[in-house]
Amino acid sequence: MQRVLQVGVRKHLKKHIYGPLVKLSSFFQQICTKTLFVYDLDKLEEDIIIILCKLEKIFPPAFFVPMVHLTVHLPREPKLAGPV
């Protein structure tokens, strides 16, 4: 999903819709890497807020359930408890 989404939706969606979806996919790729650095996690923590704001402009409010909001907390968890 992290790699296929980027390639699969490019031709079918407009750039303002495609961009945040690719950035969300890239966010999950970076958060799932074998090695995590604190400065990368800080950058991801800032980026996910912007990504979710862009997604709020595209998708209806029903899309934003608590599970989507939890992505905001994902970069903080490895800093607090270490990678899982």
Give the residue with greater pLDDT, 6 vs 61. Answer: 61
- Split at pLDDT 50, 70, 90, the class of 79 is confident
Structural domain for 43, as ranges:
4-81
Query: What's the whole-model pTM score?
Result: 0.81
Task: Tell me how far apart the alpha carbons of residues 49 and 75 are, in angstroms, rounded to a whole number.
Answer: 11
Distances (CA, A) of 5 to 15, 24, 27, 57, 75: 14, 10, 13, 20, 21
Number of domains present in the structure of the chain? 1
* pLDDT score of 17 more than 70: yes
Would you tell me the crossing angle of helices 38-58 and 15-31 to the nearest 10 degrees? 150
CA dihedral 14, 5, 31, 35 (to 10 degrees): -120
- Split at pLDDT 50, 70, 90, the class of 67 is confident
Q: What pLDDT, on a 0 to 100 scale, did the predictor assign at position 50? A: 94
